[in-house]
Structure 1
Amino acid sequence: MVTAYLLMNVKPGSETKIAEDLVKKKEVKDINIVYGAFDIVMKIRVKTMDKLQKFILDMRKDGSIEQTTTLISTSVK
């Protein structure tokens, strides 16, 4: 499994709608509207890196999402 955190900047005023749409997706494990350098922080879990890429590319088709930064998580042992 691949766990990733997506940090997003979106068009002003679109934060709630985007978060409400994304939280419905099975890959999304947590999503928050935040203040600071980013507008939305989302945790997702997918089976493969290919599925991560597809999820991000599909998500970015929403014209309200202006920029994304992806942080891929690793386990701490």
Structure 2
Amino acid sequence: MAGSFVLLNSKKNQEKNVIAHLKEIPEVKEIQCVSGPYDIFVKIQASTVDELHEIITWNIRKLKNVRSTYMLKINEEATDCKDDN
């Protein structure tokens, strides 16, 4: 399973429109409105990394009212992260 967090900016006053479209994508598992440099936080899960990139590139970045995106690929669950100490 491959996962990613996507931070995105929408056009002014179009957050609800973007969220409505994001809800139609089955691989989108979580959507949050956030404050700061980004407008919307999205968690995505797909079967493979290639499928993950395809969903972000063709289903999210191409949405009409999305201005920009920033993807953070999930490498491993926090409970499995290595402790360097």
Query: TM-score if structure 1 supplies the norm length?
Result: 0.90
Alpha-carbon distance between aligned partners in 2 of 1:39 and 1:9, rounded to the nearest angstrom: 5
- More divergent stretch after superposition (15-24 vs 56-65): 56-65
- 4+ residue runs over 4 A deviation: none
CA RMSD of aligned residues (A): 1.1
Which shifted more, 26-35 or 55-64?
Answer: 55-64
Q: Displacement, 1:62?
A: 1.8
Q: Which structure's CA Rg is the greater one? A: 2
- Distance of 1:38 and 1:3 partners within structure 2: 19
Report the Cα distance in structure 1 between the residues aligned to 2:36 and 2:66, rounded to whole angstroms: 16
Contact kept? 1:7, 1:68, Cα under 8 Å: yes
In the other structure, the counterpart of 1:43 is: 43
Q: Distance in 2 between matches of 1:2 and 1:11?
A: 28
Q: TM-score, normalised by structure 2?
A: 0.83
Identity %: 31
Supply the distance in 2 between the matched residues of 1:21 and 1:34 (Cα, whole angstroms): 17
- What is the number of residues matched between the two proteins? 77
Deviation at 1:63, TM superposition (A): 3.0
